[in-house]
Each structure stands twice: as C-alpha cells, then as structure tokens.
Structure 1
C-alpha cells in the first residue's frame, strides 16, 4: 500500500485506518516509509498516525529533543487525537516518545520502543557522513542494517542530500548532540505505563546491553529480541516485529477493557 500524505495546520503526516490510535515516531535519518509494514498490518483495526518530524528544517534554535517533543505536542493538538493513545518510536523517535510520555503521562496508554536513544547511541557508527563522498554515505547508511542491501538507493540518496546541505547538517548535528545530552536514566522510573522493547540482536547503534538497561529501569517493560536484525526492526524484520507488537497490544488493550 502507498502511504498517503496529508497536510493540516502546517503539519505533514500519514493517517490510515480507524480504531485505537497508534502514533509512530521515526528517527533522525528516518522517514514516514520506515513504518510502511506496521501501517499495512495495523491500519485494519487501528488508526495509525505518523507525523513527519522536521529534523531537517526546524528553527535551529529549537533543533533538539525538547523542540521535537514540543512539535509532537503541537501535532497532537492540531490533529485532535483522543485523550489516550499508543506511542511507538524508533531510534531518536523512541527518545522523543519517552520524553513526551514523561511530560504527558495521562495521554499515553502504552509505549513501544525499538532501537531507542535516551541512554546511549553510537550515531552513524561513530562518525558523521562525509560531504560529497557517496560511497562513504552508502557504507554508513548500510551500517544501520544487519543486511546492508536493505539500505535502498532512495534512502542512501536522501542521506547523501542531507550531508550536502549546510543548513540540514547543522540541524542534524544539533539534534544529535541534544539527544546525547538528554540522558533519561534517572527519569525512566517515572514511566508507569506498559512498555514493549523490540530490539535487533545485532544492533550496533543502540546495542543489546542498552535494551537490557531500558528493561531494568522501566518499571513495566518487556523485552523482545529479533536475530539477524540491527537498528530498525520494523523495517528489517517486519513479520517478527509486528507479531510482538500485535501480542503486546492484545494484552494491554484487553487489560484496559477490564479496568474500564
């Protein structure tokens, strides 16, 4: 299925399906298409919403985790989401999801994190892509995946374009530094909603020990690993990722129904 983009009050987003809301947040070099297989699976019985985060063009003074959280808060208000919904985040999107939950605890019914930053991340394999070097950019983008061929030419071209734009690079660097500064280890105990952690067993950017640390610090977390998988499980292992997500949602939604 093709993801149809919508525009409302200055926000660009995908809005597919009906039912309980799944709010999906992509990472620093991510895109709406990163969640394609989640949309295809869950739009049959959920309302799946993906805002395009302004990581490349937001005001430089706001380029950071707090600015992106504020953007999500504005988006939620503009689109008129229900009082409570499910939040999923990959990489930087997971970091934003965590801070959003800390600031808006009553709005988040449960949380799903995959390859999330917030404790530690080795951004782009430890170095920022070199400008004008397509082969280097291709190698670094491939580093995000267990199977480098998952890094399509379209994705590599997009990152290459970013690295050759001074204004985009400045924002990416500012956001990456902000994420490193905003360590959440002392805050995670405050998140009391159910949390599903789905991690690539071969993640080189937020390695498995990071997932175990999230599981230790979050009071109600369950951790699942996918083998032969790196930093974006919903892209590399969509069947396994969706199976874990489906099982988690059935459990949490059934529990919510009993409480109600």
Structure 2
C-alpha cells in the first residue's frame, strides 16, 4: 500500500528480477492479471495495482483526472523501488500508462500496450464515442442492485469458464462512481500527440477479434510509435490476457526478457 494525494493505493507484488507493472482496465481491478502474476513471477518482479477507486484501494476523490491516475501509478513504481519498469496497460489501463509516460518517462523502461486506446477520442470515430457514452449513461443509471459493469464486446466467445469465479468476484466489487469517472475520462482522452514521441521499446499486443479496440487501432499505434512491434493473438477479443493466457504470457515474457 502507498498513500498518494490522500488516497491509499494497493498493489500486489510477487517474484524477483526486473520489474513488470500491470495496469488493469475499467470496471475491473488488479485481479484480472492473476494468470500473468503467477506465471511471470519465476523471472520478474510482477506488480499489479488496484487503481484509486478500485479493488483494495481507497475511494476515488472528486475531480480525480487522468494525470492524477498517472501520478498514483508513478508513486507505486517508486514505492517498489527497483528503478524504471516495463509497464503494461490493457484497455483504459493503456491510456493511463500513456499518461504516465507523458509525465514520468524516467520511470518507464518499455511499454506494453494491450488492446488499448489513445483515449476513445484519440482512437475511435466520434459517432462510436457518442454511442459508448450513451451506453455508459444507461448502465450507470440502473439501480445499484441491477448494476452490471460488464461492457459489451469484451470477449470473442464469451467469458472464459476457467475464470468465471474470478470475473464474478471482480464484478461484484466494482464501484459505479469509479467506473463513471473512468469512462468519462476515456471518452475525452486523446493521447495521439504523444505517440510519435515515444522512444522506449514498445509492444502492441492485441486480440485478433477485439471488437472494442479493433486491429485498426493497433495499426494506427504501429504507424505512430517509432519501431513499435505488433503481436496479434489469434481468435481472442479485448480481454486477451484471460482468453488466451498462455499465448499472452509467452508474448509478454519474450518482450520483457529482451528489454530487461
């Protein structure tokens, strides 16, 4: 646990070796990285945070912005104390990681952009952003007992059965006010100006059938980020780390080993 700007930020740390930091998406918490934390700890110090307002971390303060999430993530990396990290972000988490790189590039040894966006505004057509904002409004307007944080199009073939208990536990713990803030910030974020200025090794890791951040977004990242490497995992969607954990982890291990 590290305290940042009055918020307690929790993280899991396992293993020894070069540090790899895993940043989760919206409507979920650091437990989504359970397969990777377990598998990579034999070679790396693996860190998975619960961002402010999620999981075991404290409540999200009013007015908490994208830069505040980045500062909180920087504090976690500094608290680990092993120097610059290889930082992976999935979906909304990737947008947070880009903002971290904007403000604290000294803490980033390499970037792993996973099924992500340069913000919705930066990566999606305006009509798609508007549709998602409206969908989020309807979801968040539901009574608490009917609130379902599962966004459409997360999986190519439905939630993986072997992680059903884990997914259900995370879903029950989602705080609507946090998800509202995450999605609102994502809708307005545009990190495209940063992409050509990235100088660290960058892996783009995408599910072939990602419906939320389609491969066209990955190709736009590849065109914009100098020397970015694209790896596509066949037959999986947006939550590629849970739909194909073995293939996903192998790609992460190979990249992080090469740039440790």
How far is 1:94 from its partner? 0.8
**What CA distance in whole angstroms lies between the structure 2 residues aligned with 1:55 and 1:13?**
13
Q: Which residue of 2 aligns with 1:120?
A: 123
The worse-fitting range, judged by mean Cα deviation, of 23-32 and 12-21 is: 23-32
Query: Partner of 1:145 in structure 2?
Result: 155
Q: CA deviation at 1:160?
A: 5.9
Q: How does 1:5-154 map to 2 (within 5 A)?
A: 7-9=1-3, 10-56=8-54, 57-62=59-64, 64-77=65-78, 79-118=79-118, 119-120=122-123, 126=132, 127-128=135-136, 129=139, 131-132=142-143, 137=148, 140-141=150-151, 143-150=153-160, 152=164
In the TM superposition, what is the alpha-carbon distance from 1:95 to its structure 2 partner? 0.8
Shift in Å, 1:196: 0.5
Consecutive unaligned residues of structure 1, counting only runs of 5 or more, are 1-6, 163-167, 254-260
| DSSP-derived class of the 1:15 partner | strand
Seen in structure 2, the aligned counterparts of structure 1 residues 50 and 149 have a Cα distance that, compared at 3 Å, is closer
Contact 1:27 1:92 survives alignment (8 Å): yes
The 4+ residue runs of structure 1 with deviation greater than 4 A are 132-136
1:142–1:149 contact (8 Å) kept in structure 2: no
RMSD after superposition: 2.5
Cα distance between partner residues in 1 of 2:253 and 2:43: 11
Which structure 2 residue ranges, 5 or more long, are not aligned?
none
**TM-score between both structures, scaled by the size of structure 1:** 0.82
1:221 Cα deviation from its structure 2 partner: 0.6
1:109 shift after superposition: 0.9
Deviations 1:94-137 (A, max 9, x none): 111111112111221111111112233668x8322262498893
Deviation at 1:40, TM superposition (A): 1.6
Aligned length: 238
Deviations 1:62-105 (A, max 9, x none): 1x32221121122233x242221110111111111111112111
The structure-2 alpha-carbon separation of the partners of 1:142 and 1:134, relative to structure 1 and needing over 3 Å to count, comes to farther
Q: Which moved more, 1:182-191 or 1:169-178?
A: 169-178
Is contact 1:134-1:160 (8 Å) kept?
no
User: Are the equivalent residues in 2 in contact too, given 1:120–1:180 (CA < 8 A)?
Assistant: no
Contact 2:31/2:170 (CA < 8 Å) preserved in 1? no
- Equivalent position of 2:246 in the other structure: 239
1:156 deviates by: 4.5
Q: Distance in 1 between matches of 2:42 and 2:165?
A: 30
Is the partner of 2:20 in helix, strand or coil?
A: strand
- SS for the counterpart of 1:48 is strand
Question: In the TM superposition, what are the counterparts of 1:206-245 in structure 2 within 5 Å?
Answer: 206-245=213-252
Q: Give the C-alpha shift of residue 187 in structure 1.
A: 1.4
Worse overlay, 14-23 or 220-229: 220-229
